[in-house]
């Protein structure tokens, strides 16, 4: 498959699964722009491939997102940036709940909205949200995060229907616990709050997966490539689970 001549935007492209997605898109021939709030990680990823460029942008800043997406005019938009926090529901502060909605839902809304505008006069386009299995089911201690990811999937399904006759597909990819820096932070939180060892904390997350392993980021990147490949034109409005069979 070749994406030569295509332009792809990846939010949160400086680390984790976003970085892997950016690299795979660039390897397939796309011109890739990655954005994030920290310039150093972005630069490290861009140094790994000549077709990757960077810009510093906060996905929750409406004016910045409008300017960035309009200036780049992507054909492929990957709404990947996100964050997670955990706490018992009764001890979850309103500010924490609002942070999860702002970053994971509002930021994805702005990314997809501006991506939709950029694609309006193009005959082909791909809008892909990197959601989570937390958008398909519940998990304890992360209710605000799960609420935001459920919202992302509802938004994707609605937008897919609006764009169904325009050559633009809209999908969500829903990984389980990924083998990334974000999961390492979750492991550190479990250690701090429970006194378990890092190995025990990691094993508890792996146990939630029927394959008893964390999801490799490249599996998510390959799903992105498939959604951009010939033969995927009828796949839209879907929440594709990449989770080792987790239900």
Q: Would you name the residues annotated as active-site residues? A: 145
Nearest to 174 by CA among 150, 205, 147, 190: 150
20 and 44 Cβ atoms separated by less than 8 Å: no
User: What are the structure tokens assigned to 73, written together?
Assistant: 């005019």
Q: How many CB atoms lie within 10 A of CB 141?
A: 16
Helix and strand totals (H; E) in the chain? 9, 7
92 and 143 Cβ atoms separated by less than 8 Å: yes
C-alpha to C-alpha distance for 184 and 69, rounded to whole angstroms: 31
Query: Mapping DSSP to helix (H, G, I), strand (E, B) and coil, where does residue 151 land?
Result: helix
DSSP-assigned letters across all residues of 157-214: HHHHHHTTTTTEEEEEEEESSBSSHHHHHHHHHHHHHH---HHHHHHHHHTTSTTSSP
Positions of E strands within the chain: 7-11, 31-36, 52-56, 76-79, 125-130, 168-175, 239-242
């Amino acid at each position: 498959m070749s994406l030569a001549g295509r332009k792809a935007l990846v939010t949160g492209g400086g680390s984790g699964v976003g970085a892997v997605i950016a690299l795979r898109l660039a390897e397939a021939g796309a011109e890739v722009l990655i954005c994030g709030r920290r310039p150093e990680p972005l630069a490290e990823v861009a140094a790994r491939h000549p077709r990757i460029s960077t810009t510093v942008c906060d996905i929750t800043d409406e004016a910045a997102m409008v300017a960035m997406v309009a200036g780049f005019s992507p054909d492929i938009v990957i709404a990947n940036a996100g964050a997670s926090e955990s706490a018992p529901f009764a001890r979850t502060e309103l500010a924490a709940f609002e942070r999860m909605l702002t970053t994971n839902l509002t930021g994805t809304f702005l990314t997809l909205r501006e991506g939709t505008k950029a694609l309006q006069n193009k005959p082909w386009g791909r809008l892909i949200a990197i959601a989570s299995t937390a958008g398909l089911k519940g998990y304890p201690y992360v209710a605000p995060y799960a609420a935001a990811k459920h919202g992302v999937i509802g938004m994707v399904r609605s937008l897919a229907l609006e764009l169904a006759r325009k050559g633009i597909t809209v999908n969500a990819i829903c990984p389980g616990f990924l083998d990334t820096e974000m999961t390492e932070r979750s492991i550190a939180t479990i250690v701090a709050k429970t006194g378990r060892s890092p190995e025990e904390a990691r094993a508890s997350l792996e146990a939630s997966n029927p394959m008893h392993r964390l999801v490799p980021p490249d599996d998510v990147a390959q799903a992105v490539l498939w959604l951009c490949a010939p033969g995927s034109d009828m796949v839209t409005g879907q929440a594709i689970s990449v989770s080792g069979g987790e239900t």
